[in-house]
Amino acid sequence: QRISPQDMFLGIDPTRDPSTASCEDLVIRIQLPDTKAKDINLDVKRTKLLLEAPKHKLLLHLPRPVDDEHGNAKWLGGKSC
């Protein structure tokens, strides 16, 4: 969540809580051992994420709808998540 000092110290925004219902960002980390970025197909829709690779397939229903037109994805090759 993007929390302002007023939210943190004064509790001004009563619509914020620690759940996903109040989040602006969603981070999903997926480990795919022995898989190259060029072999990964990632498709993010408003309510689901579909990832396909030669040895892996994942269909993930997202906890909240996302803006699928303006999202981004990064490949962290060589790093463990």
CB neighbours (10 Å) of residue 34?
9
Q: Which amino acid is at 65?
A: P
Residue burial 61-73, b: 16+ Cβ < 10 Å; e: rest: ebeeebeeeeeee
Q: Rg for the chain (alpha carbons), in Å?
A: 16
Q: Residue 75: pLDDT above 90?
A: no
pTM exceeds cut of 0.75: no
Q: Residue 45: pLDDT above 50?
A: yes
Q: What is the mean pLDDT of the chain?
A: 78
- What confidence category does residue 42 fall into, taking pLDDT thresholds of 50, 70 and 90? very high
DSSP for residue 78:
T
**pLDDT on residue 80:** 47
Contact 81, 40 (CB under 8 A): no
d(CA 2, CA 42): 27
Region 31-42: what's the mean pLDDT? 90
